[in-house]
Structure 1
Amino acid sequence: MLAVVAVHLLIAPCLLVLARRNRRAAFGAGAVLLAGTLVWALTMTPRVLDGGVADEIDWAPQLGLTLSLRMDALALAMTVLVSGVGALIMVYAAWYFGPRSADAARSASLLVTFAGLMLGLVLADDLLTLYVFWELTSLTSFLLVGQGGRYRENRRAAVQALVVTVFGGLGMLLGIVLLGETAGTYRIPALIEHAAAGTLDGGHPWSLAFALVLILLGALTKSAQLPFHTWLPYAMAAPTPISAYLHAASMVKAGVVLVARLGPAVGGYAVWWVPVVVLGVATMLVGGWRALRQTDLKRLLAFGTVSQLGFLMVLFGAGSRVAALAGIAMLLAHGLFKAPLFMVVGAIDKTCGTRDLRELCGLGRRRRGLVAVAALSGLAMAGIPPTLGFVGKEAALAAFLEEGGVRGLLVLAGLVLGSLLTVAYTARFLWGAFASKGTMPTDSEPVPAGLSAPAWVCALAGLGLGFATPAVQRLAASYADTLPALGGYAPRYELALWHGFGIELGLTVVIVAGGLLLHRFGGAATGHRSVPAVSAQRGYEVVVTALERSAISVTGHLQIGSLPVYLGVVLGTLIALPGSALLLRGTFPAADVSYHAIMQVPVALLVIVAAIALCRARRRFTAVLLVGAVGYGIGGMFVIDGAPDLALAQFLVETLTMVAFVFVLRRFPAHFSEPDTEHRVRLPKVLVAGAAGILVALLAVALSAARVGPPSTTEGFVRLAPESGATNIISAILVDFRAMDTVGEIAVLLICAAGTASLVLATRHDRRRHDRVVSGGGSPQHEEEVIGG
């Protein structure tokens, strides 16, 4: 599996070169790669259904860091979308991008790159691996949406998507670290085992709750849930193949995959399922309502995607077996009906020059192929038999009917209303794109087979899986059976195209009839175009504007060209953050000796006296000597503690620094300048510097007390040091294990020596010329003043 992901990342740059020679060949090569990945994944189906296939590399075993991938039922379902639908979109893109397109080459390369990264995300078996691929997909989608950056709309959409998803991703990283440290593992299977044993919180329930909220923040932003959903409709500025792939088949489902991955471990915690279910239902309703108000077909589908993502969040966040069965079915169905609908919109836009439903008229009579594929996909989106969309939606209704109770009935009511809106905006899409709404039919060119054939394959696959429900059931059950069955019939429920006449079928009839009536007679309510008083997009703009103003204000107050201010801010932050943690949770040794060797006492006194005298120094040359005394004293400590190598490096650095300072200071005034405000600000400086010094001392003691044994890497150094012929482990590290690092340090010392030598030569040159430089430029009088003559 690691090799498959790596192949995508290696081939992607090659497509840039190939695209310059033959644009369609580049997209074709990408399609072959993705199709091959799909075939490879399908050949693993028997092993996947028997428990999954794992692949792992220990890239830092001492730190517990591994690159872990696992192909299970959920990953296989997503691979069908990422690779299968992705291959069809690559074929579609080969005909969509024109021969003079400046973005074709980079789009081919970035699409394959994104496919590889998305595969890594869905296959990730530990949270840290998942996060790495998570952020890389955000960066790649930024490049895909922004394209070449030539158009303001693309730049704005790409920046908004990046800001929202990376904001959520940073919160998710903090949550992942908190969850991993609380549970003692980052491996997802291990988290599930801890949850089953009741030890997931590690005795810290509040830490677990906070971690889950932060992780949800990443999932909600990535999958465009309320109130973070506005980035997705604006991302429709990207070319249609990009939208069809990122916003129908792959990227927007990342948050859904994360919720599904952690569902078996944390699905029973209210802090997890309550926000997922509540926001999922709200997103489904808001997205569906907003879709009914759109006149741009692509934005209509975008808000429809928002609505469907809310639906998927509810199914995977509910944490029950039947809801998970419905979730896998709808996950597949959504990619297989939404991608062809985006392709249809792209074909309409290319052949008609518009995708505004107010301008399109009579297209259905002349482009019957597009009508058929759009209608077939629309049936699946509306949940009408015999499509896979119907199977998944009926299972969703059954899940909450079986669950019952307050939660089950409330969620069921939300899903029914959201599904009714789905039928309504599906009808609006088909009517707006193909109906005859005027007397002047829209001019249209013939649709190339390269734009229609991929859409047909997707739509027919959705229809075929509706008839092949037993295969979907077996795949979905491999994941869903790990979740509790809520309801008496829930343990025996299976996905099927026909369950007989029942409440679910009756609700489906009500949903379809209500949606059609809403489309037919609800124009007055849904066609209102005014911007609502409460707008998520306005909220985003207000927040971003406030952040920009705050950044300008903070920069104006802090970046004023004053070194004392910079040091004060750094030290103040150090005191406020680590200092607070040290006072609240710091652990100090119960009993400790004041010193370990008698020679430490005079050397420590020397350092302290030199530091105090340094604060009182008025001559620059005196200050340099005192700084050197502090450095030499620290080097003496290294000698006393048995680290001659560190002491030698310290002495060399201090000597070079002093020599360099001496030759530089001859160009400066002998005394420090002391402005009138010096006395007024001296006390705050003393307080900040003193507090920082005390904090560093306390941190040294606390961190020393926290170490109860040698680092995990020490054992390897001790074992390998004799093999290098060394009796001193520090020497072995510097010469053998970190040889390149040591060479770099030696190079730095040589550069410092060369700089010092150049200063000496410059001084001799000035003396030969008998130059006089005002304000301490090397004149004899200044030299005497510097040395105190």
Structure 2
Amino acid sequence: MTWLLACQVGLAVGVVLLGRALGTRVFLVAALAPAAAFVWLATQVRTVVHGNPVAESWSWAPALGLEVHLRLDALALVLALAVTGIGALTLLYARWYFDGRREGVGRTAGVLLLFVAAMLLVALADNLLVLYVAWEVTTVCSYLLIADDGRKAESRRAAVRALLVTTSAGFAMLLGFLLLGHQAGTYRISELVDSAPVGGIGSLAVVLVLVGALAKCAQVPFHPWLPEAMVAPTPVSAYLHAAAMVKAGVYLVARLAPGLAESVPWQPLTVVVGLATMVLGGWRALAQTDLKRLLAYGTVAQLGFLVVLVGAGSRTAALAGAVMLVAHALFKSCLFLVVGVIDHAAGSRDLRELSGLARRAPLLLVVAALAAASMVGLPPTVGYLGKEAALEAFHTDAWGGAWVLAGLVLGSALTVAYTCRFLWGAFAGGSDAAADWHAPRPGFVVAPSILALAGLAVGLSPSRIGELVTPYADALPDPGKTYHLAFWHGFTLVVVLSVSTLVLGVALFLGQRLLSPLHGRLAGPVRAVKVQDLAARGVLSGATWLTRRGHARALPTQLALTLTAVVALPLFFLAPVGVARPRWWDSPWEAVVAGLAVAGALGVVVVRASLVAALVLGVVGYLVGVFFVLRGAPDLALVQVLVETLTFVVFVLVLRRMPRSGSGPRQRLWPLRVVIALAVGAVMTWSTLTMSSRHARSEPSPAYLEEAPAHGGPNVVNVIITEYRALDTLGEVTVLVLAATAIASLVLRRTRMGGPPSPSAHADPVPGGPSHE
């Protein structure tokens, strides 16, 4: 499983590099990784359904007890198959959707593929902390994908809104994870659900975790970010907001339900919020004229339906939730892709302008009708299986009973109504308003056709899908365990309710003109979208204010703020420790060299010429090198001399382009500078003495001395650098490369700019002035 994740990430980097060369064909290359993962996952179905989860783990930081645990069980397999299969088809679809676009296709393909990897890790993670890391990677990827190339203000606003809502709720979820793990004594999800904490801190942790999960899957009152994110390209909407990202919240609720469903706030919170979201989303969908926004509010409603099912805490409801997870991923991603085809071929996705497309695109109508049939729960689609199981669950044993069942019937009727609105508005009618329609290329409709047929094929095999999801459902309470997926369970109340939803939904669609005035009247004075917009503006305004105040243009002001932080943070930790007793010197020569170094440091303060001050500072560094020689470390002395020489060269290259004098109004702040300088020096001295007195000899030191000859030679320092701390050395080499790059930029700037700066540049350093560079 680790290799599956690594392949997604590795190919994500590769397609970014290949984007300019391959153009939109790079999406075909990107589709290979999720397709390969889907094939491997399909080979594990037989193993998993027989109750043998595939597990894998590896140590990250053993000394800290940090390990990465991956586990593929029935529920993880359901999500992983949806993530990889629909991910591959979405990338295939993007090949034609972005046809003709050259800029940014590699970036889009790479971020989509990285999103696949993150969602796959969400499904496979058996550790709360690993799951949280993957969770936040999906948030960052969604921000980049919604913003697209960042040129449209509307896309940027939608991306920021989604980022703020999901990350702020994600922090609450992280706190809930930490409380759960601490109370249960483990962060392993498979162990936690077997001994989940209840009451007190456990209940608080449950609420915090649900806040993060419900925000991710766009539940009330967090829901507005999802419809606003429809400004993203259609492949992004189809994958993130139908098959992947929003499913993460539902998956987390389903994953923890076997252990936490009995907690006091769990069932009331998930069922009530989910039911309210289902009804509100369906009602708002009826008022939309943009096909994507209609599907977006429909997605909000369907996600509320899923939260009700997976949060109810009964076996039949969990069975229905797992089936609907598959059904929704298939039919909603298919419908989003259909809208993308319509938008490309007709130049509009406004249902008031698209009448008559049934004659021009009969194949597209069939595809959309199959997906819509699954959405409303018509046999023999997979949506029908999930809907029947859901009604059965609340008819018999699920939490809430009759009133929840009534809410589900109303929500399902609204689903039928907005589905009819979608099909009629896009394809029916006698108008010829879509005269500009041009037939899409055959490859454009392959992905939505496969998804529609998959929904039909899965529905025709209730026993197969039942085998896949039943091992998960069996983990929840249901003494009889009698319900199984089938097309016909006899003429029961469930059949009556199912038919009633269809009849009521058609009636709502036919009477939508009478209902349209109510949409505006029922909107409350405080709307969630306004609250989110206000919060987003507040965060951005606050960040702008802090940046302008905290990052002043004057270099001395920036240094003062930085050095103040350098002083404040160590004081917080050193204040309780006290002052260590120093050992002044081991020989008189050390005292002489130290005195000269102190005199040089004072000379740097006194000297007014910048280049001379840099030279004196370099002398202080060379004296430190002499001090190393006296202490018996010539290799360190050599490094010190080389670093000081390099630093002096950098100072010369930088200072020659700065004002020659420091005169000006800022010189009046010299007392503050003196205070900051003395404070920094005192705190750094205090820190050094304290650390050296408490850690005079580390525990690994004897082992270094004993094992150094066996690892390359008698020079212990060289062995430590090349063998024991090779990774640190690699990092230091990287820093040196970056420093060399910066120096080369300064040196080559003379050639790029056509010569050295004119003398007037030093006399007019005002930003925006005639000689400002």
* TM-score normalised over the length of structure 1: 0.74
In structure 1, which of residues 241, 248, 260 is the aligned counterpart of residue 242 of structure 2?
A: 248
| Alignment-derived partner of residue 258 in structure 1 | 252
| Alignment-derived partner of residue 473 in structure 2 | 480
**Contact between 2:90 and 2:235, CA under 8 Å: does it hold in 1?**
yes
In structure 2, relative to structure 1, the CA distance for the partners of 1:593 and 1:161 (3 Å cut) is closer
Task: Tell me if 1:287 matches 2:284.
Answer: no
In structure 2, relative to structure 1, the CA distance for the partners of 1:567 and 1:427 (3 Å cut) is same
| Alignment-derived partner of residue 4 in structure 2 | 4
Structure 1 Cα separation of the partners of residues 60 and 31 of structure 2 = 32
Task: Tell me if 1:547 matches 2:539.
Answer: yes
Map 1:703-742; keep pairs closer than 5 Å. 723-724=710-711, 733=720, 736-738=723-725, 741=728
Structure 1 residue 479, shift from structure 2 partner: 1.5
Task: Tell me if 1:459 matches 2:449.
Answer: no
Task: Tell me if 1:536 matches 2:528.
Answer: yes
Structure 2 Cα separation of the partners of residues 540 and 226 of structure 1 = 12
In structure 2, relative to structure 1, the CA distance for the partners of 1:716 and 1:182 (3 Å cut) is farther
In structure 2, relative to structure 1, the CA distance for the partners of 1:653 and 1:434 (3 Å cut) is closer
In structure 2, which of residues 487, 497, 522 is the aligned counterpart of residue 497 of structure 1?
A: 487
Deviations 1:20-48 (A, max 9, x none): 56657544444444333222211111222
Deviations 1:468-500 (A, max 9, x none): 1122222112212222x1x664x3322322222
Structure 1 residue 572, shift from structure 2 partner: 8.9
Q: Which deviates the most, 508-517 or 445-454?
A: 445-454
Structure 2 Cα separation of the partners of residues 715 and 252 of structure 1 = 54
Task: Tell me if 1:355 matches 2:349.
Answer: yes
| Alignment-derived partner of residue 762 in structure 1 | none
In structure 2, relative to structure 1, the CA distance for the partners of 1:441 and 1:544 (3 Å cut) is closer
Q: Secondary structure at the match of 1:56?
A: strand
Structure 1 residue 387, shift from structure 2 partner: 1.8
Structure 2 Cα separation of the partners of residues 307 and 535 of structure 1 = 17
**Contact between 2:173 and 2:211, CA under 8 Å: does it hold in 1?**
yes
Deviations 1:288-340 (A, max 9, x none): 11111100111100111111112222222333322221111000000111122
Structure 2 Cα separation of the partners of residues 410 and 339 of structure 1 = 31
In structure 2, relative to structure 1, the CA distance for the partners of 1:449 and 1:742 (3 Å cut) is closer
Give the letter aligned to residue 467 of structure 1: L
| Alignment-derived partner of residue 768 in structure 1 | none
Deviations 1:363-389 (A, max 9, x none): 224433222222221121112222211
Structure 1 residue 426, shift from structure 2 partner: 1.0
| Alignment-derived partner of residue 434 in structure 2 | 442
In structure 2, relative to structure 1, the CA distance for the partners of 1:572 and 1:37 (3 Å cut) is same
Q: Secondary structure at the match of 2:193?
A: helix
Q: Secondary structure at the match of 1:54?
A: strand
Give the letter aligned to residue 9 of structure 1: V
| Alignment-derived partner of residue 48 in structure 2 | 48
Structure 2 Cα separation of the partners of residues 69 and 676 of structure 1 = 60
Give the letter aligned to residue 46 of structure 2: P
* TM-score normalised over the length of structure 2: 0.76
In structure 2, relative to structure 1, the CA distance for the partners of 1:187 and 1:645 (3 Å cut) is farther
- Which sections of structure 1, spanning at least 5 residues, go unmatched? 756-789
Task: Tell me if 1:318 matches 2:312.
Answer: yes
Map 1:629-640; keep pairs closer than 5 Å. none
In structure 2, which of residues 313, 326, 331 is the aligned counterpart of residue 332 of structure 1?
A: 326
Task: Tell me if 1:150 matches 2:151.
Answer: yes
**Contact between 1:222 and 1:252, CA under 8 Å: does it hold in 2?**
yes
**Contact between 2:343 and 2:349, CA under 8 Å: does it hold in 1?**
yes
Structure 1 residue 214, shift from structure 2 partner: 4.1
Structure 2 Cα separation of the partners of residues 334 and 278 of structure 1 = 21
Structure 1 residue 172, shift from structure 2 partner: 3.7
Q: Secondary structure at the match of 1:499?
A: coil
| Alignment-derived partner of residue 525 in structure 1 | 515
| Alignment-derived partner of residue 87 in structure 2 | 86
| Alignment-derived partner of residue 424 in structure 1 | 417
Give the letter aligned to residue 431 of structure 1: W
Structure 1 Cα separation of the partners of residues 689 and 52 of structure 2 = 49
Deviations 1:341-376 (A, max 9, x none): 112212222222221111122222443322222222
| Alignment-derived partner of residue 367 in structure 1 | 361
Alignment coverage as a number of residue pairs: 734
Q: Secondary structure at the match of 1:492?
A: coil
**Contact between 2:161 and 2:536, CA under 8 Å: does it hold in 1?**
no
Map 1:500-515; keep pairs closer than 5 Å. 500-515=490-505
| Alignment-derived partner of residue 309 in structure 1 | 303
Task: Tell me if 1:61 matches 2:62.
Answer: yes
Structure 1 residue 697, shift from structure 2 partner: 8.7
**Contact between 1:225 and 1:309, CA under 8 Å: does it hold in 2?**
yes
In structure 2, relative to structure 1, the CA distance for the partners of 1:463 and 1:299 (3 Å cut) is same
Structure 1 residue 192, shift from structure 2 partner: 2.8
Give the letter aligned to residue 425 of structure 2: G
**Contact between 1:175 and 1:213, CA under 8 Å: does it hold in 2?**
yes
| Alignment-derived partner of residue 752 in structure 2 | none
Q: Secondary structure at the match of 1:270?
A: coil
**Contact between 2:53 and 2:74, CA under 8 Å: does it hold in 1?**
yes
Structure 1 Cα separation of the partners of residues 6 and 439 of structure 2 = 40
**Contact between 2:250 and 2:307, CA under 8 Å: does it hold in 1?**
yes
Query: What's the Cα RMSD here?
Result: 5.5
| Alignment-derived partner of residue 770 in structure 2 | none
Task: Tell me if 1:238 matches 2:228.
Answer: no
Structure 1 Cα separation of the partners of residues 263 and 681 of structure 2 = 42
Task: Tell me if 1:391 matches 2:381.
Answer: no
Give the letter aligned to residue 222 of structure 1: K
| Alignment-derived partner of residue 214 in structure 2 | 220
Q: Secondary structure at the match of 2:70?
A: strand
**Contact between 1:292 and 1:527, CA under 8 Å: does it hold in 2?**
no
